[in-house]
Amino acid sequence: MPASSSTRSGERPRVAVVGAGQLARMTHAAAIDLDVELRVLAADPAESAASAGAMHVIGDPRSLEDLRVLAAGCDAVTFDHEQIPHEHLRALEDAGLRLRPGPSAKRAAQDKLHARRVLRDLGLPVPEFAEAASLGDVEALAARTGWPVVLKARTGGYDGRGVVMAADRAEAGRVLGSGGEWLAEAMVPIARELSALVARRPSGEAVAYPTACTVQREAMCREIHLPSGAGPGADDRARDLALELAEAIDATGIMAVELFETAGGELLVNELALRPHNSGHWTIEGSVTSQFHNHLRAVLDWPLGVTDLVAPAVATVNVVGPADGSDPRDRVAEALAVPGAQVHLYGKAARPGRKLGHVTVAGEQPDEVRAAARRAAELLQGEELA
Amino acid sequence: MPASSSTRSGERPRVAVVGAGQLARMTHAAAIDLDVELRVLAADPAESAASAGAMHVIGDPRSLEDLRVLAAGCDAVTFDHEQIPHEHLRALEDAGLRLRPGPSAKRAAQDKLHARRVLRDLGLPVPEFAEAASLGDVEALAARTGWPVVLKARTGGYDGRGVVMAADRAEAGRVLGSGGEWLAEAMVPIARELSALVARRPSGEAVAYPTACTVQREAMCREIHLPSGAGPGADDRARDLALELAEAIDATGIMAVELFETAGGELLVNELALRPHNSGHWTIEGSVTSQFHNHLRAVLDWPLGVTDLVAPAVATVNVVGPADGSDPRDRVAEALAVPGAQVHLYGKAARPGRKLGHVTVAGEQPDEVRAAARRAAELLQGEELA
């Protein structure tokens, strides 16, 4: 394989993205800079990335035929979500396509039980866990860790979907009885949630971004702050752990590692994502190279960009569809009046609770940039943030 | 007129751009952030902005009918070049369309003689000039200022086209004899060229970017540097002059004022552009708000963004088609290996001397960022810069 993935002289490289949501949309904006042709798999032409002008194939990620049409002639195939059958990834790779990340690495983001085992086998810190094939498995874990126990769907969950705190045996029984495959975890006393973001090329070069603190509400990431405010050494430990993991599983492209910092200062890996990630949106204005640029550079096996902060403090606040169903688009001018507010709207129809955009502010003082980003998000949402 | 140009609740604003070159392309990338629908007028779908996914109307800016089709239903109409008949601009405005800038302001960028007179009447500094309706006019100017005399086509010139240094009467006669309308100017001893960039809203708010130094080779802008290195007070004078001019002519959107700094430290206005400008490409990574974001914000009458530098030094170097006809796209990986190099390629077919992209580097030391940006541009061009 050549060092550069593109072998057609004088033509722009083509990257296929399975998915056409906001991650693909922001990747398209980066693709314009680098003159990369992005081709996304969309359910319909109004999807976020397609409406931003990315070339699109209409199709379904569960259809191997649709995936083949998407990937034909592309220099790399990447993803903006996890909902692709693993056997299809294998089939595409067997057909000679360059999957970035490859099926084995991607599985760590698709199957939470598999991820737990990989992390444990690498000696990386995870909450105590067990496969929850039966209620007996959950009770055995609870006997060691106490109730409540966290039950997680092995596949398909995001933004809190597929995660249940089971207070007791009866509740755990109801969850397992609802069907699907589950993983049980000890409930961990969390001081803070962190995100360690890395980019890695197939040829092995990897770079890590400064560690961010993420703030969740109703199990959805709502704010991202740098500096993280984590305890001594935690930022560096998170970064080193993410780099070690990326190499161990042969991750390519962006990988986000979400971690818990416990009250005792211990780090435990919570979730993995092998794609650009909400917790990395701050990099668009807050880092020399955005996660979307580095994702493209990584999947094309191009040299990776500098990940330094451009200012001492950066805050990103998500814009979520307000309860009254109104559309933040109608209030963009108000939000832009907040000095330094960088507004991103994803072109999605407004629905209560749906992620519709984000605001980033970079500056000198953490409190000030956070307040400004929150203020702009509140103006967009037309309601106060919790 | 409402404070915000968009009156359709829950829909994204639509901005028409007459033109589909790299300026429209980079405006489209900003439009994705702000969820603005950009609709460009392209000669063919392979043009720079259209190939980046901007919605496009195929047409000709000299056709009023094509302009009407482009502008229909748009909240604002703006431009990425000057080649639109003035009477068409008047007709579109008379039809109720919001031209940003309006025809009167745009004329200052379309007709160099008109611009000179406007500047002179405002008391702003310009080189000594005269309408060159006849050879006698040129000789009269030369009698006061000496030969050579600079002859400029009143309309249609760019990147040095339409500008001739006439060494004597005979050469001036040949130029005037070639047809078209001309302006004659005194040759000015130039120490440095500067660019003052402002954004202004229809409602009057205006912001100015830090003044940049531009370096021309073969009459084409090749490098942009900040800080400018200009003499005491020159940056502020250039900025104040641009703000004064923008208000005086009711400019809207981005306006770039290109100035000469003379050996004596005097500033003279050279050219005007009422649109995003090559000398402002550094703002994408080098300023909190890029010229493309502020152009959209300005034409939609939205609050303008902060124009501060994100680092003490910024350099942008244009990537021009190399003499051997090879394509910089084939060397992008080499250029990305230069630490901090932010590469932009415009998706245009490679031809010797054609602007195909640019590289920006931001950092602490002017010499270092300039060297890095030049190095990346050299790697893309596959040849040494002059």
pLDDT in tens, A216-254: 988 889 999 999 999 999 999 999 999 999 999 999 999
Q: What is the pLDDT of residue A4?
A: 38
The residue behind tokens 């309408």 is: B131
Instruction: Supply φ then ψ for residue A377, to 5 degrees.
Output: -65, -40
Query: Residue B259 to residues B46, B158, B235, B294: CA-CA distances in angstroms?
Result: 34, 15, 11, 22
How many Å apart are CA B69 and CA B59, to the nearest integer?
A: 9
Distance CA B177, CA A162 (A): 79
Q: What are phi and psi of B83, to 5 degrees?
A: -85, 55
Phi, psi of B199 (to 5 degrees): -125, 140
Which of A 31-50 lie inside 8 A of B, CB atoms? 32-35
Mean pLDDT (chain B) is 95
Judged by a CB distance cut-off of 8 A, whether residue B295 touches chain A is: no
Q: A347 vs chain B: nearest CA distance in angstroms?
A: 6
pLDDT tops 60 at residue A5: no
Q: Say yes or no: B54 contacts chain A, CB-CB below 8 A.
A: yes
pLDDT digits (tens, 9 = 90+) for A345-385: 999 999 999 999 999 999 999 999 999 999 999 999 999 99
Q: How much is the pLDDT for A10?
A: 74
pLDDT-derived band at A1, boundaries 50, 70, 90: very low
Q: What pLDDT score does A6 carry?
A: 46
Q: How many Å apart are CA B300 and CA A6, to the nearest integer? A: 39
- Chain B environment of A289 (Cβ under 8 Å): 342
Whether A3 shows a pLDDT value over 50: the answer reads no
Average per-residue pLDDT for chain A: 95
Pick out chain B residues at pLDDT < 50. 1-6
Give the strand order in the sheet containing B182-186.
Answer: B129-131, B182-186, B149-153, B163-166
The residues, any chain, with a CB within 8 Å of residue A75's CB and separated by 6 or more, are A5, A6, A7, A13, A14, A15, A98, A300
**Does the distance separating the beta carbons of A346 and B35 come in below 8 Å?**
yes
Residue A30: the pLDDT is 98
* R_g (Cα) of chain B, nearest Å: 20
- pLDDT at res. A18: 98
Instruction: State the pLDDT at residue B161.
Output: 77
Alpha carbon B163 to chain centroid distance?
Answer: 17
What is the mean pLDDT of the segment spanning A303-310? 97
The dihedrals phi and psi of A56, each to the nearest 5 degrees, come to -140, 150
Which residues in chain B have Cβ-Cβ distances shorter than 8 Å to A54? 53
| Residue A138: partners with Cβ closer than 8 Å, 6 or more residues away | A130, A132, A149, A151, A166, A169, A172, A176, A184
Q: What percent of chain A has pLDDT over 90?
A: 93
What is the DSSP pairing of strand B76-79 with strand B14-18? parallel
* Chain A nearest CA to B286, separation (Å): 10
A343 and B297 within 8 Å at the Cβ level: the answer is: no
Q: What is the mean pLDDT of residues A116-123?
A: 96
CB of A52 within 8 Å of a chain B CB? The answer is yes
Q: Contact A336/B303, CB-based, under 8 Å?
A: yes
CA distance B150 to B175: 11
Q: Are A146 and A153 in contact (CB under 8 A)?
A: no
Q: Does A122 touch chain B (CB under 8 A)?
A: no
**Coil, helix or strand at residue A318:** strand
Determine whether the interchain pair A311/B306 forms a contact, defined as Cβ–Cβ distance below 8 Å: no
E strand spans, B201-252: 206-208, 212-217, 220-226
Q: Is the dihedral of CA B143, B146, B152, B154 positive or negative?
A: negative
Question: What torsion do the CA atoms of B217, B221, B224, B229 make, to the nearest 10 degrees?
Answer: 60
Give the model's confidence band at A8: pLDDT under 50 very low, under 70 low, under 90 confident, else very high: low
Chain A residues whose beta carbon lies within 8 Å of the beta carbon of residue B9: 327, 330
Residue A121: in which H helix or E strand, if any? helix A112-121
User: How confident is the model over A115-122, as a mean pLDDT?
Assistant: 96
Contact A340 B310 (CB under 8 A): no
The answer, for B29 touching chain A at a CB cutoff of 8 Å, is yes
CB-CB under 8 Å, A297 with B345: no
Q: Cα separation of A341 and A360, whole Å?
A: 6
Chain B residues inside the 8 Å CB shell of A23: none
- The pLDDT of residue A236 is 98
* Number of continuous H segments (helices) and E segments (strands) in chain A: 13, 17
* φ, ψ of residue B294 in degrees (nearest 5): -70, -30
With 0-12 CB in 10 A as exposed, 13-18 as middle and 19+ as buried, what is A324?
Answer: exposed
- Chain A residues whose beta carbon lies within 8 Å of the beta carbon of residue B345: 33-35
Greatest CA separation for chain A: 64
Quick one: pLDDT at residue B386? 84
Q: Does residue B41 contact residue B57 with C-beta atoms inside 8 Å? A: yes
